Amino acid sequence: MTQLSNTNNGYLKVVNPGPLTTLQDAGRFGVRRLGITQGGPADLHAWAWANWLLGNPWGTPALEITLGGLELKAEQDCSLALCGADLGATLDGEPLGCWQAFRLRKGQTLSFAMPVTGVRAYLAVKDGFIAEPILGSVACVTRDQLGGHLGNGHKLTADDRLGFATHTDGLIQRTVPEAERLDYRSPASLALIPGAQVAAFTGDSLFRAFNSPWAVDTRADRMGVRLLGPALRCTMNSMISEGIALGAVQVPPDGQPIALLNDRQTIGGYPRLGTLTPLACARLAQCAPGHQVWLKATAIEAAQNQYRRFRAGF
């Protein structure tokens, strides 16, 4: 990690890293021509609100905590914010609610247990965690061995120390609007922009795609999420591989769609039903295996307007 010798930095010591905790900023862009994907927060929505609570600008690095298990001990006082999934967080053994900012004092322990609702929580620190940018970003992509707190794509391990600029000022009095504190227990409605090879799917398949429930498969990670439901049929026998955008919904020969997320490959050769919007990807990232989701067709103009409204708040 960079700047560990800087006496002006504070640190959180990793006592227990959990199964998958990584450092994520807004993502790595402009490098897909090199075969390098974007990374960044799987749930852009919760990540953004965690930084907002502390007054951090867009792109500030925060921790993505997947499935809990993380335990951190403060070596200095710091201001933190927690948003996203309820992973049973406690502060020195006392329950800690989500969607709020709080102070962690020197010697105190912040712990996460198992998921209660959702899959991923986001922990931001005032002014962000310190790491060396790789190709313009600190976003951790383990497959590409890029980014993260050490710069080599590694997830957190025991005894790591996470640096941050020391700060003594109090918390900004901000509250996440109630409407933005999503209920991850409810079925997820995922906005999808039809496109790519959508016309090559049979009419029956298109009807079923948008009028049937889908279940999240156990084969789900930061690269993509497989959905289980009616088999979709495409009349295309083959196609040349194309560039893959965030949220692209590919349909392999078994007819079960795969929604591709932040750590996806950069090209793919399966026909695509369309593309999930960024906020639909964020919602999908909080769905555990077995969770019910629905695909809802949306126009590109409506998707763009929704994203502009979201970004305008940050």
| DSSP code per residue over the chain | -TTTT-TTEEEEEEEEE-SEEEEE-S---S-GGGT------SSHHHHHHHHHHTTPPTT--EEEEESS-EEEEESS-EEEEEEEEE---EETTEE--SSEEEEE-TT-EEE--S-SEEEEEEEEETT-B----BTTB---BTTTTBBSSSSBSPPP-TT-EEEEE---S--------GGGS--TTSPEEEEEEE-TTGGGB-HHHHHHHHHS-EEEEEEESSSEEEEESSPP-BS------EE--TTEEE--TT---EEE-TT--SEE-S-EEEEE-HHHHHHHTTPPTT-EEEEEE--HHHHHHHHHHHHHT-
CATH topology for the 9-180 domain:
Jelly Rolls (2.60.120)
The model's confidence at residue 112, banded by pLDDT at 50, 70 and 90, is very high
Task: Look at residue 1 in the predicted model and tell me its pLDDT.
Answer: 36
CATH no. of 188-312: 2.40.100.10
Is the confidence at residue 157, as pLDDT, over 80? yes
* For the chain, domain boundaries: 9-180, 188-312
The model's confidence at residue 168, banded by pLDDT at 50, 70 and 90, is confident
| Model confidence pLDDT, tens digit, residues 27-36 | 999 999 999 9
| Predicted TM-score of the model (pTM) | 0.96
Task: Look at residue 7 in the predicted model and tell me its pLDDT.
Answer: 61
